[in-house]
Structure 1
Amino acid sequence: MSNRLKVLIVDDDAVSRTVLKTMIHWENAGFYIMEDAHNGNHAVQLIEKETPDIVITDINMPGLNGIGLIEHLEKNFPQISIIALSAYDDFDYVRQSMKNGAMDYVLKHRLDAPFLLNILNTARSSIHSYRNERDRQSDIDKELTTSKAVLRQTFIRKLLEGGLSDVEEVTGRVRALDMKLDTENLMVTIAEIDDFRLLEEKFSSQEVDVVLHTFMEISKEILKDWEKSVIVHMAKGKFAMIFSLGPLKSTMYIYNTMYTILNRMRSEIKKHLNITVCFGVSKVCTELTKLPQAYNYAETLLRDKFYKGKNSIFIESTPHKKEESFFCLDIKDEKAIYAALKNQDDKEVKSRLDDIFGKISSMRLGSKSTQMICAELINIVNKICKDTGIEITKLYTAEDIPYNLIQKYETLMDIKAWVVNLYDKLISMLKLMKLESGLSNITKKAVEYIHRNYSSDFSLKDVADFAGASSSYISRLFKEECGIGFAEYLNHVRVEQAKQCIENGELKLKEIVSSVGFNNYNYFFKVFREVTGMTPLEYEQSCRK
């Protein structure tokens, strides 16, 4: 029925309505009668509930007559095709009905089935032509809207990147593109999605596009609170916003207002997309052609993210020291770290790393210099592994080469956390090697059994049977040689394995519990905190920072 055209019959004479309804087989002809009305007022009520495609109306009716109904429809429902009927061959009626929008005027006594079908088919052609033209115009309007939006985005990018300098040209383009921007008192803000490179690795290109589109839509909705502003996607994970400030107020007022709207944007993006974003806000720009300088200033502020962390708003600049062109570890530092690792001196290693990263921060070294220092720290780890026979693959759980991995982190805190975690794992392995080197054959067998079967549920008796000794003897010997009890050692091994699983991020916490041999989540939670000083969730969050 959806392809059939809807017809409304309007006539004050019930017999005439019945004759018209039975004159042809409406549905076979591609039409159906949706309703019939007894006068013009009744017809208006029905049309307001459901719009017909065709109205066949009598001219002479009490109340609102056919001429009045045709006028109403032409004014309010121009898409409806109208056929006027009358029992009188009155030229004035013909003239008025045709003038007001009727497509045909038919005398009732001349109306028969073929004549009616012919008129209806003519109406159908007219309706289809109207719809085709309407759809074509709609497509044109959409295309023009889309084209203008693309032109706006291209223009803003070119303007911010310094590709336009003529004031008259820039002002003319702003007007031509119907952009809501003033020509003076402007401010540029750059929004940068945190860890965008990691986001691209985690999701497909289509999923990333959805994130970017949603980011843009959320931002546009919030920017409606600012009377005049525009936003454009500049590059991977980076957006630029231009705000017209209007009559200038105090700097404090402008920054407070800007902070409020950006903080709301940051909050909504975190809530809906579960990602964080940093903002760099320029100083007030006096004219359109100076926007590139304002954009560069906002970009400079964003560099503070490397030192101050993610999910931040950077508004006021602080004096920056010039970045060193070259920096490397002192040979004394390298020897001291190497010696501390060999001695499994956790405190000394941590102190040395704190000093190195503190120096990077105080000197405000850039990411390139920092990566160079980290590469030297990785080299120390690799040398220790080579000298002690530790397999390097046991240290690096990610698929990436470690030198490439550190380039993906955007903040000094993230880079330091990765390096410190690497050194922690190395020290744990070195301690285990030292422990095993001084063990008796029986205890070595016990340790071997634990490392092979930590993911299973076994008892001290199972270990004793494997080692060829009694449970009581194994328990006493194990504590004497290892310095800790059998159960405590087993828990440490399981927690270390759990830490590696958490770092990999492939399993959920509840899955990790059983995969490393714990039968009870609460007990796992308790043991994990005793061994590491933090809960599994806190450790997971520290790995994701």
Structure 2
Amino acid sequence: MRLVIVDDEMIERKAMRKFVEESMTGFEVAGEAANGRLAVEMAAELKPDLMLMDIKMPGMNGLEAIRKIREIQPDIRFIMVSAYDSFDYAKEAMKEGVKEYILKPGKKEETIEALYRLKKEIEGERSAAAGKEEAANLMKQHLAEKSAQNQLSQQELEHFQQLFPNAKGGFFLVLSGCTAAELQPLLERHASMPYVFYPKSENRFAVLLLSENQEESAVRTEALRLARTITLAVKESRAGVGYPAGTLAKLGKSYQEAYRAWESITPGAAAYRFFRESAVPPAGEDQEKLRLSILNGNTEEALLLYSRLSEDPLLIKEWLSAAKYDLEKRGIDVQHISVLNADDLKETIRMLCEKVQWTQSEQEVAARAIQYMKARFTEPITLEETAEQTKLSPTYFTKVFKEQTGQTFIDYLTSLRMERAKELLANQDLSLKQIAYAAGYRDPNYFSRVFRKVTGQSPKQYRKKGAG
């Protein structure tokens, strides 16, 4: 139990802290406050279970502090501590829900008993609440599974509606390649609808998401967005997506669609998809050609292919989402480009292709710079002259090079020189001065300092270790 001690007398606070820490088990003194204002701030920041609260303090007194704390943290329990044996104080404290009132100077046994009474009460309430929550979750999972199997009785349907009074319909996801520990936080963070998830087998989960009054197109977009988010976050996962059901009684169809979509996902394909009766168009048809043209950054061809498509725009968005997913797997940053919520798909295609072109251009810049550095790293080359080889300003070149290689210019140059130095140190006939010059350093002492910094050893130590 986390405890905060509130008393304007420092000696009283320190004595109480020492007493609790040395004499009682199951309690942690999370903080101390010298007045009511600080007590309110600590309650908001530390969220303790219990607060020992003095009544008479300068500024905001203990009763005023309790009133404010209960507005922001109603579950905190209080033990009032006062040197005043006044029925009025006790009466006011009881109005605020205070159940324990200790007079100063009190016996240690009274404090111990009061703290343990409240600890037992809190633990009992939490245990009961946890039991109720677990029972409710099990019931939700049971009803979700019954709805997936089209076996909801009228009584169960009514119970479902009591648990989710605003739910009008929903859809199912079937997921594999992830664990409950991975899936739960993703759903908590990204699901915009109430949900129930439960295991179907050792490595497969069903997730039911319940919609309220959203348009079907908005629900379908949300279904794809969530499936894409999960499969991007958990490598090797895959997700089948069922179409939205307009009523709770029709959720079984959505589950069957999600399962069959999951079953149809093949290695190398997009990791999530809706179910469709007809097979996915094979490679060579316009869908696959559109995907490949985007992956290659061919704007003209991609827009031409798009103009020939007659499919449902939502289906085309799904194809574009698959292409976007492939780009992200290649390390191309297209997260800022919205597909599922796009109004102008032509513009979306153009943006995806241009990002590919830009990335390819940056990769070529880094490749030219690396080629130049490898050919001249034994010479005193500079960032400015290397940037000039790529036709970029030094500032922009620095940014591109770091993004593409993960290293700064000087770090990459140093790594080339250190690898050459390590190779040369194997030759016992070469002096350290000769090796420094051959690795691109004109100052042997500076070379030795850099070598030690990079390898943790001096050149002599490295050579001796290699020889041994």
Larger Rg: 1
Superposition TM-score, scaled by structure 2 size? 0.44
